[in-house]
Structure 1
Protein backbone atom coordinates (compact mmCIF):
# COMPACT_ATOMS: atom_id res chain seq x y z
CA UNK A 1 0.00 0.00 0.00
CA UNK A 2 1.25 3.52 -0.85
CA UNK A 3 -0.12 6.73 0.69
CA UNK A 4 0.36 10.45 0.30
CA UNK A 5 -1.06 12.56 3.12
CA UNK A 6 -1.29 16.28 2.49
CA UNK A 7 -1.32 19.38 4.66
CA UNK A 8 -4.25 21.80 4.61
CA UNK A 9 -3.38 24.90 2.59
CA UNK A 10 -6.62 26.80 3.13
CA UNK A 11 -8.50 25.61 0.04
CA UNK A 12 -12.24 25.61 0.76
CA UNK A 13 -13.70 24.80 -2.68
CA UNK A 14 -11.80 21.51 -3.01
CA UNK A 15 -9.00 20.14 -0.86
CA UNK A 16 -7.27 16.76 -1.23
CA UNK A 17 -6.50 15.17 2.16
CA UNK A 18 -4.92 11.93 1.00
CA UNK A 19 -4.30 9.74 -2.02
CA UNK A 20 -3.19 6.15 -2.18
CA UNK A 21 -3.02 2.91 -4.10
CA UNK A 22 -3.34 -0.68 -2.88
CA UNK A 23 -3.29 -4.24 -4.12
CA UNK A 24 -5.80 -5.92 -1.81
CA UNK A 25 -5.51 -9.43 -0.45
CA UNK A 26 -8.24 -11.99 -1.32
CA UNK A 27 -11.52 -11.18 0.47
CA UNK A 28 -9.89 -8.17 2.19
CA UNK A 29 -12.69 -6.03 3.68
CA UNK A 30 -12.89 -2.42 4.80
CA UNK A 31 -15.88 -1.48 6.97
CA UNK A 32 -18.65 -1.21 7.85
CA UNK A 33 -17.39 2.32 8.45
CA UNK A 34 -18.35 5.98 8.25
CA UNK A 35 -15.89 8.59 6.97
CA UNK A 36 -15.87 12.38 7.24
CA UNK A 37 -14.62 12.97 3.68
CA UNK A 38 -15.38 11.90 0.12
CA UNK A 39 -13.20 9.07 -1.22
CA UNK A 40 -13.12 8.42 -4.97
CA UNK A 41 -11.74 4.99 -5.96
CA UNK A 42 -10.63 3.75 -9.38
CA UNK A 43 -10.24 -0.01 -9.93
CA UNK A 44 -7.16 -0.82 -12.01
CA UNK A 45 -7.56 -4.60 -12.00
CA UNK A 46 -9.44 -7.39 -10.25
CA UNK A 47 -12.88 -7.30 -8.71
CA UNK A 48 -14.70 -6.42 -5.51
CA UNK A 49 -18.03 -5.28 -4.11
CA UNK A 50 -19.07 -1.92 -2.71
CA UNK A 51 -21.99 -1.57 -0.30
CA UNK A 52 -23.50 1.81 0.55
CA UNK A 53 -26.39 1.56 2.99
CA UNK A 54 -28.39 -1.45 1.87
CA UNK A 55 -27.27 -1.44 -1.75
CA UNK A 56 -24.38 -3.54 -3.08
CA UNK A 57 -22.68 -3.50 -6.50
CA UNK A 58 -19.86 -5.57 -7.96
CA UNK A 59 -17.09 -3.54 -9.57
CA UNK A 60 -14.33 -4.59 -11.94
CA UNK A 61 -11.49 -3.00 -13.94
CA UNK A 62 -12.29 0.54 -15.04
CA UNK A 63 -14.97 0.97 -12.38
CA UNK A 64 -15.21 3.96 -10.05
CA UNK A 65 -16.99 4.20 -6.72
CA UNK A 66 -17.46 7.13 -4.39
CA UNK A 67 -17.60 6.97 -0.59
CA UNK A 68 -19.86 9.78 0.65
CA UNK A 69 -19.24 11.41 4.05
CA UNK A 70 -21.32 10.25 7.01
CA UNK A 71 -22.81 7.21 5.26
CA UNK A 72 -22.27 3.60 6.32
CA UNK A 73 -20.25 1.74 3.69
CA UNK A 74 -18.26 -1.45 3.17
CA UNK A 75 -16.02 -2.66 0.37
CA UNK A 76 -14.60 -6.12 -0.07
CA UNK A 77 -12.08 -7.59 -2.49
CA UNK A 78 -13.00 -10.65 -4.53
CA UNK A 79 -11.75 -13.93 -3.04
CA UNK A 80 -10.30 -15.16 -6.36
CA UNK A 81 -9.34 -11.96 -8.21
CA UNK A 82 -8.90 -9.23 -5.58
CA UNK A 83 -8.90 -5.71 -6.88
CA UNK A 84 -6.13 -3.15 -7.02
CA UNK A 85 -7.40 0.40 -6.71
CA UNK A 86 -6.24 3.97 -6.23
CA UNK A 87 -8.13 6.69 -4.42
CA UNK A 88 -8.51 10.39 -3.62
CA UNK A 89 -9.78 11.48 -0.21
CA UNK A 90 -11.12 15.04 -0.41
CA UNK A 91 -13.45 17.65 1.10
CA UNK A 92 -14.72 21.09 0.09
CA UNK A 93 -17.79 23.14 -0.68
CA UNK A 94 -17.60 22.08 -4.35
CA UNK A 95 -17.40 18.35 -3.54
CA UNK A 96 -21.17 17.56 -3.59
CA UNK A 97 -21.70 19.44 -6.85
CA UNK A 98 -18.69 17.84 -8.54
CA UNK A 99 -19.93 14.39 -7.50
CA UNK A 100 -23.35 15.18 -8.96
CA UNK A 101 -21.89 16.48 -12.24
CA UNK A 102 -19.70 13.38 -12.52
CA UNK A 103 -22.72 11.09 -12.34
CA UNK A 104 -22.29 9.71 -8.83
CA UNK A 105 -25.82 9.41 -7.49
CA UNK A 106 -27.45 7.53 -4.64
CA UNK A 107 -28.26 4.93 -3.50
CA UNK A 108 -24.92 3.43 -4.62
CA UNK A 109 -22.55 5.95 -6.26
CA UNK A 110 -20.83 3.71 -8.81
CA UNK A 111 -20.05 4.24 -12.50
CA UNK A 112 -17.72 3.12 -15.27
CA UNK A 113 -14.83 5.28 -16.42
CA UNK A 114 -14.91 6.54 -20.04
CA UNK A 115 -13.42 4.00 -22.46
CA UNK A 116 -10.56 6.31 -23.50
CA UNK A 117 -8.27 5.09 -20.71
CA UNK A 118 -7.66 8.64 -19.49
CA UNK A 119 -8.93 7.83 -15.98
CA UNK A 120 -6.43 5.00 -15.57
CA UNK A 121 -3.59 7.32 -16.58
CA UNK A 122 -4.66 10.08 -14.18
CA UNK A 123 -4.94 7.71 -11.23
CA UNK A 124 -1.68 5.94 -12.13
CA UNK A 125 0.26 9.22 -11.85
CA UNK A 126 -0.68 9.94 -8.25
CA UNK A 127 2.40 8.52 -6.55
CA UNK A 128 4.72 10.44 -8.87
CA UNK A 129 3.65 13.63 -7.08
CA UNK A 130 4.88 12.44 -3.66
CA UNK A 131 8.05 14.53 -3.66
CA UNK A 132 6.74 17.62 -5.42
CA UNK A 133 7.00 20.77 -3.29
CA UNK A 134 3.51 21.90 -4.33
CA UNK A 135 1.90 18.46 -4.27
CA UNK A 136 -1.27 19.75 -2.55
CA UNK A 137 -2.05 22.08 -5.44
CA UNK A 138 -1.00 19.53 -8.05
CA UNK A 139 -3.30 16.89 -6.52
CA UNK A 140 -6.23 19.29 -6.45
CA UNK A 141 -5.58 20.05 -10.11
CA UNK A 142 -5.43 16.33 -10.87
CA UNK A 143 -8.76 15.77 -9.12
CA UNK A 144 -10.39 18.61 -11.08
CA UNK A 145 -9.11 16.99 -14.28
CA UNK A 146 -10.70 13.69 -13.25
CA UNK A 147 -14.05 15.30 -12.50
CA UNK A 148 -13.87 17.23 -15.75
CA UNK A 149 -13.32 13.99 -17.64
CA UNK A 150 -16.21 12.31 -15.81
CA UNK A 151 -18.72 15.14 -16.23
CA UNK A 152 -21.91 13.59 -17.55
CA UNK A 153 -22.76 14.86 -21.06
CA UNK A 154 -26.31 15.98 -21.75
CA UNK A 155 -28.20 13.78 -24.21
CA UNK A 156 -30.63 16.59 -25.07
CA UNK A 157 -28.76 19.81 -24.26
CA UNK A 158 -31.63 22.31 -24.20
CA UNK A 159 -33.87 20.24 -21.93
CA UNK A 160 -31.19 18.62 -19.79
CA UNK A 161 -29.48 21.93 -19.01
CA UNK A 162 -32.72 23.13 -17.42
CA UNK A 163 -33.13 19.85 -15.56
CA UNK A 164 -29.65 20.11 -14.09
CA UNK A 165 -30.11 23.78 -13.24
CA UNK A 166 -33.36 23.17 -11.35
CA UNK A 167 -31.97 20.18 -9.45
CA UNK A 168 -28.77 22.01 -8.51
CA UNK A 169 -30.79 25.00 -7.29
CA UNK A 170 -32.96 22.73 -5.14
CA UNK A 171 -29.90 20.92 -3.77
CA UNK A 172 -28.25 24.24 -2.86
CA UNK A 173 -31.42 25.36 -1.08
CA UNK A 174 -31.61 22.14 0.94
CA UNK A 175 -27.95 22.31 1.91
CA UNK A 176 -28.46 25.86 3.16
CA UNK A 177 -31.81 25.34 4.94
CA UNK A 178 -31.74 21.72 6.17
CA UNK A 179 -31.83 22.87 9.83
CA UNK A 180 -35.19 24.58 9.28
CA UNK A 181 -38.65 23.03 9.02
CA UNK A 182 -38.74 23.03 5.24
CA UNK A 183 -40.77 20.65 3.12
CA UNK A 184 -41.37 19.80 -0.53
CA UNK A 185 -43.65 22.83 -1.04
CA UNK A 186 -40.91 25.18 0.18
CA UNK A 187 -38.29 23.59 -2.08
CA UNK A 188 -40.56 23.68 -5.14
CA UNK A 189 -41.53 27.30 -4.46
CA UNK A 190 -37.87 28.33 -4.23
CA UNK A 191 -37.05 26.62 -7.53
CA UNK A 192 -40.25 27.90 -9.14
CA UNK A 193 -41.67 24.54 -10.17
CA UNK A 194 -44.71 22.41 -9.43
CA UNK A 195 -43.98 19.83 -6.72
CA UNK A 196 -44.82 16.85 -8.94
CA UNK A 197 -42.58 18.11 -11.73
CA UNK A 198 -39.72 18.74 -9.30
CA UNK A 199 -40.06 15.16 -8.04
CA UNK A 200 -39.87 13.86 -11.60
CA UNK A 201 -36.69 15.88 -12.21
CA UNK A 202 -35.08 14.48 -9.07
CA UNK A 203 -35.99 10.92 -10.04
CA UNK A 204 -34.60 11.52 -13.51
CA UNK A 205 -31.34 13.09 -12.32
CA UNK A 206 -30.66 11.50 -8.92
CA UNK A 207 -32.94 8.43 -8.81
CA UNK A 208 -34.56 9.66 -5.59
CA UNK A 209 -37.16 12.14 -4.37
CA UNK A 210 -36.32 15.62 -3.01
CA UNK A 211 -37.59 14.42 0.39
CA UNK A 212 -35.12 11.52 0.37
CA UNK A 213 -32.30 13.84 -0.63
CA UNK A 214 -33.16 16.26 2.18
CA UNK A 215 -33.30 13.37 4.65
CA UNK A 216 -29.86 12.18 3.52
CA UNK A 217 -28.41 15.67 4.06
CA UNK A 218 -29.90 15.83 7.55
CA UNK A 219 -28.66 12.40 8.50
CA UNK A 220 -25.11 13.13 7.28
CA UNK A 221 -25.07 16.30 9.39
CA UNK A 222 -26.51 14.38 12.35
CA UNK A 223 -23.76 11.73 12.09
CA UNK A 224 -21.11 14.43 12.25
CA UNK A 225 -22.70 16.06 15.30
CA UNK A 226 -23.14 12.73 17.08
CA UNK A 227 -19.48 11.84 16.57
CA UNK A 228 -18.44 15.10 18.23
CA UNK A 229 -20.14 13.96 21.48
CA UNK A 230 -21.05 17.54 22.41
CA UNK A 231 -24.84 17.76 22.00
CA UNK A 232 -27.70 15.72 23.38
CA UNK A 233 -29.81 13.65 20.99
CA UNK A 234 -32.60 16.23 21.25
CA UNK A 235 -30.17 19.04 20.43
CA UNK A 236 -28.81 17.14 17.44
CA UNK A 237 -32.40 16.55 16.27
CA UNK A 238 -33.22 20.26 16.41
CA UNK A 239 -29.92 21.15 14.72
CA UNK A 240 -30.87 19.10 11.64
CA UNK A 241 -34.49 20.19 11.35
CA UNK A 242 -36.39 17.76 13.61
CA UNK A 243 -38.17 19.45 16.55
CA UNK A 244 -39.42 16.00 17.64
CA UNK A 245 -36.51 13.85 18.91
CA UNK A 246 -38.57 10.67 18.58
CA UNK A 247 -39.24 11.34 14.89
CA UNK A 248 -35.55 12.11 14.41
CA UNK A 249 -34.56 8.82 16.08
CA UNK A 250 -36.94 6.84 13.85
CA UNK A 251 -35.66 8.53 10.69
CA UNK A 252 -32.03 8.11 11.76
CA UNK A 253 -32.42 4.38 12.38
CA UNK A 254 -34.33 3.93 9.12
CA UNK A 255 -31.59 5.72 7.16
CA UNK A 256 -28.36 4.74 8.95
CA UNK A 257 -29.45 1.36 10.31
CA UNK A 258 -28.82 2.01 14.03
CA UNK A 259 -30.27 4.38 16.62
CA UNK A 260 -28.57 7.74 17.30
CA UNK A 261 -27.54 6.48 20.75
CA UNK A 262 -25.97 3.31 19.33
CA UNK A 263 -24.22 5.30 16.60
CA UNK A 264 -22.78 7.70 19.18
CA UNK A 265 -21.57 4.86 21.40
CA UNK A 266 -19.90 3.09 18.46
CA UNK A 267 -18.18 6.34 17.41
CA UNK A 268 -16.98 6.87 21.00
CA UNK A 269 -15.53 3.34 21.18
CA UNK A 270 -13.77 3.77 17.82
CA UNK A 271 -12.33 7.09 18.96
CA UNK A 272 -11.07 5.55 22.20
CA UNK A 273 -9.59 2.58 20.37
CA UNK A 274 -7.72 4.90 18.03
CA UNK A 275 -6.20 6.98 20.84
CA UNK A 276 -2.54 6.35 21.76
Structure 2
Protein backbone atom coordinates (compact mmCIF):
# COMPACT_ATOMS: atom_id res chain seq x y z
CA UNK A 1 0.00 0.00 0.00
CA UNK A 2 1.18 3.52 -0.83
CA UNK A 3 -0.35 6.16 1.42
CA UNK A 4 -0.17 9.97 1.57
CA UNK A 5 -1.44 11.95 4.56
CA UNK A 6 -1.95 15.67 4.07
CA UNK A 7 -1.81 18.57 6.49
CA UNK A 8 -4.95 20.75 6.77
CA UNK A 9 -4.46 24.11 5.09
CA UNK A 10 -7.87 25.67 5.76
CA UNK A 11 -9.70 24.94 2.50
CA UNK A 12 -13.46 24.89 3.05
CA UNK A 13 -15.12 24.03 -0.30
CA UNK A 14 -13.05 20.88 -0.84
CA UNK A 15 -10.05 19.55 1.08
CA UNK A 16 -8.16 16.30 0.53
CA UNK A 17 -7.32 14.56 3.83
CA UNK A 18 -5.66 11.41 2.54
CA UNK A 19 -4.75 9.66 -0.69
CA UNK A 20 -3.58 6.14 -1.32
CA UNK A 21 -3.25 3.27 -3.75
CA UNK A 22 -3.37 -0.43 -2.95
CA UNK A 23 -3.00 -3.74 -4.74
CA UNK A 24 -5.31 -5.79 -2.53
CA UNK A 25 -4.89 -9.34 -1.33
CA UNK A 26 -7.59 -11.94 -2.11
CA UNK A 27 -8.81 -11.72 1.49
CA UNK A 28 -9.02 -7.89 1.67
CA UNK A 29 -12.29 -6.63 3.18
CA UNK A 30 -13.49 -3.49 4.97
CA UNK A 31 -16.62 -3.28 7.07
CA UNK A 32 -19.39 -3.17 7.76
CA UNK A 33 -18.38 0.23 9.18
CA UNK A 34 -18.64 3.99 8.71
CA UNK A 35 -16.19 6.74 7.77
CA UNK A 36 -16.17 10.44 8.64
CA UNK A 37 -15.21 11.63 5.15
CA UNK A 38 -16.02 11.01 1.51
CA UNK A 39 -13.74 8.38 -0.06
CA UNK A 40 -13.66 8.05 -3.86
CA UNK A 41 -12.15 4.79 -5.18
CA UNK A 42 -11.04 4.15 -8.76
CA UNK A 43 -10.39 0.56 -9.90
CA UNK A 44 -7.26 0.21 -12.02
CA UNK A 45 -7.50 -3.57 -12.35
CA UNK A 46 -9.17 -6.58 -10.77
CA UNK A 47 -12.66 -6.90 -9.36
CA UNK A 48 -14.50 -6.48 -6.08
CA UNK A 49 -17.84 -5.71 -4.50
CA UNK A 50 -19.16 -2.57 -2.80
CA UNK A 51 -22.15 -2.74 -0.46
CA UNK A 52 -24.07 0.20 1.02
CA UNK A 53 -27.67 1.15 1.78
CA UNK A 54 -28.78 -2.46 1.52
CA UNK A 55 -27.45 -3.03 -2.01
CA UNK A 56 -24.29 -4.66 -3.36
CA UNK A 57 -22.63 -3.89 -6.69
CA UNK A 58 -19.70 -5.53 -8.46
CA UNK A 59 -17.10 -2.93 -9.44
CA UNK A 60 -14.83 -3.70 -12.40
CA UNK A 61 -11.70 -2.08 -13.88
CA UNK A 62 -12.38 1.51 -14.84
CA UNK A 63 -15.27 1.75 -12.39
CA UNK A 64 -15.54 4.03 -9.36
CA UNK A 65 -17.38 3.86 -6.06
CA UNK A 66 -17.98 6.53 -3.45
CA UNK A 67 -18.04 6.06 0.31
CA UNK A 68 -20.40 8.61 1.89
CA UNK A 69 -19.74 9.87 5.45
CA UNK A 70 -21.70 8.20 8.25
CA UNK A 71 -23.16 5.57 5.91
CA UNK A 72 -22.71 1.92 6.87
CA UNK A 73 -20.84 0.20 4.07
CA UNK A 74 -18.42 -2.59 3.25
CA UNK A 75 -16.27 -3.58 0.30
CA UNK A 76 -14.12 -6.57 -0.49
CA UNK A 77 -11.83 -7.87 -3.20
CA UNK A 78 -12.66 -10.72 -5.54
CA UNK A 79 -10.67 -13.73 -4.24
CA UNK A 80 -9.62 -14.76 -7.76
CA UNK A 81 -8.93 -11.31 -9.24
CA UNK A 82 -8.41 -8.91 -6.31
CA UNK A 83 -8.63 -5.31 -7.28
CA UNK A 84 -5.99 -2.59 -7.36
CA UNK A 85 -7.46 0.81 -6.61
CA UNK A 86 -6.54 4.40 -5.82
CA UNK A 87 -8.60 6.51 -3.44
CA UNK A 88 -9.10 10.12 -2.32
CA UNK A 89 -10.44 10.88 1.17
CA UNK A 90 -11.91 14.38 1.37
CA UNK A 91 -14.35 16.75 3.07
CA UNK A 92 -15.74 20.21 2.35
CA UNK A 93 -18.88 22.30 2.08
CA UNK A 94 -19.07 21.55 -1.66
CA UNK A 95 -18.19 17.84 -1.42
CA UNK A 96 -21.75 16.48 -1.52
CA UNK A 97 -22.78 18.75 -4.39
CA UNK A 98 -19.65 18.02 -6.45
CA UNK A 99 -20.07 14.26 -5.97
CA UNK A 100 -23.71 14.49 -7.06
CA UNK A 101 -22.74 16.50 -10.12
CA UNK A 102 -20.10 13.84 -10.88
CA UNK A 103 -22.85 11.26 -11.18
CA UNK A 104 -22.69 9.52 -7.80
CA UNK A 105 -26.43 9.48 -7.26
CA UNK A 106 -27.20 5.77 -7.18
CA UNK A 107 -27.68 3.45 -4.24
CA UNK A 108 -24.92 2.57 -3.69
CA UNK A 109 -23.09 5.43 -5.45
CA UNK A 110 -21.12 3.69 -8.22
CA UNK A 111 -20.07 4.75 -11.72
CA UNK A 112 -19.42 2.12 -14.34
CA UNK A 113 -16.47 2.33 -16.75
CA UNK A 114 -16.94 4.94 -19.48
CA UNK A 115 -14.26 5.07 -22.22
CA UNK A 116 -15.32 8.64 -23.05
CA UNK A 117 -14.34 9.81 -19.53
CA UNK A 118 -10.54 9.27 -19.23
CA UNK A 119 -9.89 9.48 -15.49
CA UNK A 120 -7.27 6.70 -15.21
CA UNK A 121 -4.37 9.04 -16.10
CA UNK A 122 -5.55 11.48 -13.42
CA UNK A 123 -5.65 8.85 -10.68
CA UNK A 124 -2.23 7.63 -11.85
CA UNK A 125 -0.75 11.08 -11.08
CA UNK A 126 -1.30 10.71 -7.34
CA UNK A 127 2.03 9.26 -6.20
CA UNK A 128 4.04 11.68 -8.33
CA UNK A 129 2.81 14.45 -6.00
CA UNK A 130 4.03 12.75 -2.80
CA UNK A 131 7.15 14.89 -2.34
CA UNK A 132 5.82 18.16 -3.73
CA UNK A 133 6.05 21.02 -1.17
CA UNK A 134 2.49 22.11 -1.99
CA UNK A 135 1.04 18.60 -2.31
CA UNK A 136 -2.13 19.57 -0.40
CA UNK A 137 -3.08 22.16 -3.02
CA UNK A 138 -1.95 19.96 -5.90
CA UNK A 139 -3.93 16.94 -4.67
CA UNK A 140 -7.04 19.05 -4.10
CA UNK A 141 -6.59 20.50 -7.60
CA UNK A 142 -6.27 16.97 -8.98
CA UNK A 143 -9.49 15.94 -7.22
CA UNK A 144 -11.27 18.94 -8.76
CA UNK A 145 -10.03 17.81 -12.18
CA UNK A 146 -11.29 14.27 -11.57
CA UNK A 147 -14.73 15.41 -10.40
CA UNK A 148 -14.87 17.93 -13.24
CA UNK A 149 -14.07 15.23 -15.79
CA UNK A 150 -16.82 13.04 -14.33
CA UNK A 151 -19.40 15.83 -14.15
CA UNK A 152 -22.70 15.13 -15.89
CA UNK A 153 -25.53 17.60 -16.58
CA UNK A 154 -28.01 17.83 -13.74
CA UNK A 155 -31.01 19.80 -12.64
CA UNK A 156 -29.75 20.87 -9.22
CA UNK A 157 -31.12 24.36 -8.63
CA UNK A 158 -28.51 26.95 -7.69
CA UNK A 159 -28.24 27.73 -4.00
CA UNK A 160 -29.15 31.18 -2.83
CA UNK A 161 -25.99 33.32 -2.59
CA UNK A 162 -26.53 34.13 1.08
CA UNK A 163 -26.72 30.43 1.98
CA UNK A 164 -23.30 29.68 0.49
CA UNK A 165 -21.74 32.85 1.83
CA UNK A 166 -22.96 32.44 5.41
CA UNK A 167 -22.13 28.73 5.61
CA UNK A 168 -18.66 29.30 4.20
CA UNK A 169 -18.01 32.04 6.73
CA UNK A 170 -19.24 29.82 9.55
CA UNK A 171 -17.13 26.87 8.36
CA UNK A 172 -14.05 29.09 8.07
CA UNK A 173 -14.64 30.33 11.61
CA UNK A 174 -14.94 26.77 12.95
CA UNK A 175 -11.85 25.59 11.08
CA UNK A 176 -9.85 28.49 12.51
CA UNK A 177 -11.22 28.38 16.08
CA UNK A 178 -11.89 24.67 16.73
CA UNK A 179 -9.24 24.64 19.48
CA UNK A 180 -11.15 27.32 21.41
CA UNK A 181 -14.26 26.74 23.58
CA UNK A 182 -16.62 28.07 20.90
CA UNK A 183 -20.39 27.58 20.99
CA UNK A 184 -23.27 28.02 18.55
CA UNK A 185 -23.74 31.58 19.77
CA UNK A 186 -20.15 32.42 18.81
CA UNK A 187 -20.59 30.96 15.31
CA UNK A 188 -23.88 32.83 14.82
CA UNK A 189 -22.36 36.10 16.04
CA UNK A 190 -19.48 35.72 13.61
CA UNK A 191 -21.82 35.50 10.61
CA UNK A 192 -24.35 37.97 12.04
CA UNK A 193 -27.33 35.62 12.06
CA UNK A 194 -29.76 34.10 14.53
CA UNK A 195 -28.42 30.77 15.94
CA UNK A 196 -31.55 28.87 14.86
CA UNK A 197 -31.19 30.20 11.32
CA UNK A 198 -27.53 29.15 11.27
CA UNK A 199 -28.61 25.63 12.21
CA UNK A 200 -31.14 25.59 9.36
CA UNK A 201 -28.47 26.73 6.87
CA UNK A 202 -26.07 24.00 8.03
CA UNK A 203 -28.79 21.35 7.68
CA UNK A 204 -29.66 22.65 4.22
CA UNK A 205 -26.08 22.81 2.96
CA UNK A 206 -24.20 20.15 4.94
CA UNK A 207 -26.98 17.90 6.32
CA UNK A 208 -25.63 18.33 9.84
CA UNK A 209 -25.70 20.81 12.72
CA UNK A 210 -22.91 23.32 13.41
CA UNK A 211 -22.09 21.37 16.58
CA UNK A 212 -21.73 18.15 14.59
CA UNK A 213 -19.47 19.88 12.07
CA UNK A 214 -17.34 21.30 14.90
CA UNK A 215 -17.08 17.87 16.51
CA UNK A 216 -16.07 16.27 13.19
CA UNK A 217 -13.35 18.88 12.68
CA UNK A 218 -12.02 18.33 16.19
CA UNK A 219 -12.01 14.54 15.81
CA UNK A 220 -10.22 14.69 12.44
CA UNK A 221 -7.53 16.91 13.95
CA UNK A 222 -7.27 14.58 16.94
CA UNK A 223 -6.82 11.56 14.65
CA UNK A 224 -3.94 13.27 12.87
CA UNK A 225 -2.25 14.15 16.15
CA UNK A 226 -2.72 10.62 17.46
CA UNK A 227 -1.19 9.17 14.30
CA UNK A 228 1.86 11.40 14.78
CA UNK A 229 2.64 9.51 18.02
CA UNK A 230 4.03 12.72 19.58
CA UNK A 231 1.69 14.61 21.99
CA UNK A 232 0.10 13.00 25.02
CA UNK A 233 -3.68 12.49 25.21
CA UNK A 234 -4.18 15.49 27.52
CA UNK A 235 -2.20 17.75 25.16
CA UNK A 236 -4.20 16.52 22.19
CA UNK A 237 -7.46 17.13 24.06
CA UNK A 238 -6.49 20.75 24.74
CA UNK A 239 -5.24 21.16 21.16
CA UNK A 240 -8.67 20.33 19.77
CA UNK A 241 -10.80 22.33 22.19
CA UNK A 242 -11.38 20.04 25.17
CA UNK A 243 -10.12 21.24 28.56
CA UNK A 244 -11.18 17.93 30.10
CA UNK A 245 -9.23 14.91 28.72
CA UNK A 246 -11.93 12.52 29.98
CA UNK A 247 -14.63 14.37 28.05
CA UNK A 248 -12.39 14.31 24.99
CA UNK A 249 -11.85 10.56 25.36
CA UNK A 250 -15.60 9.95 25.63
CA UNK A 251 -16.35 12.10 22.57
CA UNK A 252 -13.54 10.48 20.60
CA UNK A 253 -14.76 6.96 21.32
CA UNK A 254 -18.36 7.91 20.60
CA UNK A 255 -17.35 9.41 17.24
CA UNK A 256 -14.50 7.17 16.06
CA UNK A 257 -15.41 3.93 17.82
CA UNK A 258 -12.07 3.52 19.60
CA UNK A 259 -10.52 5.19 22.62
CA UNK A 260 -7.70 7.65 21.79
CA UNK A 261 -5.07 5.24 23.15
CA UNK A 262 -6.51 2.31 21.19
CA UNK A 263 -6.64 4.42 18.02
CA UNK A 264 -3.02 5.47 18.52
CA UNK A 265 -1.92 1.86 19.03
CA UNK A 266 -3.84 0.74 15.94
CA UNK A 267 -2.21 3.49 13.85
CA UNK A 268 1.20 2.52 15.19
CA UNK A 269 0.69 -1.12 14.20
CA UNK A 270 -0.54 -0.14 10.73
CA UNK A 271 2.56 2.01 10.18
CA UNK A 272 4.98 -0.70 11.33
CA UNK A 273 6.49 -2.57 8.36
CA UNK A 274 5.64 -6.26 8.36
CA UNK A 275 8.43 -8.50 9.59
CA UNK A 276 9.80 -5.98 12.13
Structure 1: where are the runs of 5+ without partners?
A: 105-109
Partner of 2:244: 244
Name the CA distance, whole Å, in 2 between partners of 1:187 and 1:12.
17
Residues 212 and 83 of structure 1, relative CA distance in 2, 3 Å threshold: farther
CA contact (8 A) 2:48 2:58 kept: yes
Give the aligned partner of residue 206 of structure 2: 206
Alignment of 1:174-189 (within 5 A): 174-189=174-189
CA-atom RMSD, angstroms?
Answer: 4.9
Distance 2:234 2:144 in 1: 39
Residue-by-residue CA offset, 1:54-79 (whole Å, 9 max, x unaligned): x88745556531588xx9x9742277
In the TM superposition, residue 126 of structure 1 has moved relative to its aligned partner by 4.3
Instruction: Give the TM-score normalised by structure 2.
Output: 0.65
Describe the superposition over 1:12-69 as per-residue Cα deviations: whole angstroms up to 9, x where unpaired: 98889866586885x631479999x98521469763136xxxx88745556531588x
Structure 2 residue aligned with 1:157 = 158
- Please give the TM-score of this superposition, normalised by the length of structure 1: 0.65
Query: How far off its partner does 1:174 sit?
Result: 0.9
CA contact (8 A) 1:16 1:90 kept: yes
> How far apart in 1 are the matches of 2:186 and 2:256?
26
Question: Hey, what does 1:261 align to over in structure 2?
Answer: 261
1:1-276 alignment, distance < 5 Å: 20=21, 25=26, 28-30=28-30, 39-42=39-42, 47-49=49-51, 58=56, 64-66=65-67, 75-77=74-76, 86-89=85-88, 96=92, 99-103=95-99, 111=109, 117=114, 121-126=117-122, 143-149=143-149, 155-157=156-158, 159=160, 161-274=161-274
